[in-house]
Structure 1
Amino acid sequence: MKKKALIIAGRLIQDHEYIYPYYRLQEEGYDLDVAVRGKETVLGSIGVKVVPTKDIPELRVEDYEVLVIPGGAKAMEYMRQDRDILKFIADFHAAGKVIGSICHGSQLLISAKLVRGRRISGYYSIQDDIENAGGTYVNEPSVTDDRIVTTAHYKDLGPWMKAIFAETERNRKESARPAKALSGA
């Protein structure tokens, strides 16, 4: 079975946070889709062109095993108002899949109601937002909690990507294990 990954993006996404996972996922053998509302080509905050392969309404949770949410303060202000994006993120987690979030991308985790009771990283300016949503803010290069892998800054994308791949492999092995039979009385 071919590995499939998805990056959800929007206009003014943080360019480094889009480019690095875009290429690393492909280097690791993933088929990659990029989703943008309206399937519109958009520019990152410093001008990188983001060419989508999917529109948000076309997305199906079962098509992917990992979801990446790049940051970008302005992009998140728009994207976190999109109920379809938030529902997809919540459904993706509920399906037991791995989500990776970078920097301000954790704002989408907050708006998708996935932060409460979890250790979450994100840009230092959203620490209060994470804590007010019931999460514990952790400023480490990579934080993994319940299949959600977060990082505070693009300078830590190397360790964060390694954690994404490790968590995805762990999740894949866990999913492949046969369920224990219920014992009858």
Structure 2
Amino acid sequence: MANELRGKRIAFLVALEGAEQVELTEPWKAVEEAGGTPELLSTQEGEVQAFNHLDRADKFPVDRVVSEASPSDYDGLVLPGGVANPDYLRTREEAVRFVRGFFEQGKPVAVICHGPWTLVEADVLRGRRITSWPSLKTDIRNAGGEWVDEEVVVDQGLVSSRKPDDLPAFCAKLVEEFAEGRHEAQARSA
């Protein structure tokens, strides 16, 4: 995986609090090991507070505020989970617009655990096959998606996994999809 993502910038979008730390750090490491450049975006400047389930974990510096970013600046997007993280992001118009832009441009998106709540709000799941933390099943189905219980699911540039235990498969597939680049079918779902 040393050079598959050389020259590619990957956005990681999280709220100021609530992202599951391992769902941020493991994909970040996978992007770096594949030669890509990860960039941490949030709704405000400063630092984001990650969590290990319900306990505070480490803080990470924000590279860019999402309202000042464009999907055109990036080659892919990672949406970590954690219950509070996507629940907050889906209430922020600039975050939802940013996420939707990746689908409109056919760019790959990787999402894990509770992260699909932001995709539900962006209305990009109609006709898409996806997995998540089981409690999102009804939300995904109501948004027109096909929810499945699998370790990792790839649907035309959309990579999804259920939980931290799935991270090895999730990271491998997100690197593969980011390396492949644009997917026309991704744009059709937006």
Q: Answer whether TM exceeds 0.5 for this pair.
A: yes
2:103 to 87, 90, 93: 93
2:31 to 17, 25, 29: 25
1:2 lines up with 2:29 in the alignment:
no
Separation in 1, partners of 2:50, 2:70: 25
- Deviations 1:52-79 (CA, angstroms, capped at 9, x unpaired): 1000112121211110000011112211
- More helix by percentage: 1
Matched residue, 1:178:
none
Q: What's the offset of the Cα at 1:51? A: 1.1
Matched residue, 1:61:
71
Runs of 4+ in 1 over 6 A off after TM superposition: none
Matched residue, 1:16:
22
Structure 1 length-normalised TM: 0.89
8 Å contact 2:26–2:167 — kept in the other structure?
A: yes
- More strand by percentage: 2
Separation in 2, partners of 1:38, 1:167: 28
Separation in 2, partners of 1:35, 1:119: 26
Matched residue, 1:39:
45
Letter of the structure 2 residue corresponding to residue 4 of structure 1: R
Matched residue, 1:103:
113
Structure 2 length-normalised TM: 0.87
- Deviations 1:136-175 (CA, angstroms, capped at 9, x unpaired): 1111111111211110111111111111122223336x79
Separation in 1, partners of 2:20, 2:126: 25
Q: What's the offset of the Cα at 1:26? A: 0.9
Separation in 2, partners of 1:167, 1:76: 22
- The number of equivalent residue pairs is 174
Letter of the structure 1 residue corresponding to residue 27 of structure 2: P
1:137 lines up with 2:147 in the alignment:
yes
The secondary structure found in structure 1 opposite 2:181 is helix
Separation in 2, partners of 1:165, 1:12: 24
1:168 lines up with 2:174 in the alignment:
no
Percentage of pairs with the same residue = 28
- Structure number with the bigger relative contact order (C-alpha 8 A, sep ≥ 6) is 2
CA RMSD of aligned residues (A): 1.5
1:153 lines up with 2:159 in the alignment:
no
Q: Which runs of 5+ in 1 are unaligned?
A: 176-185
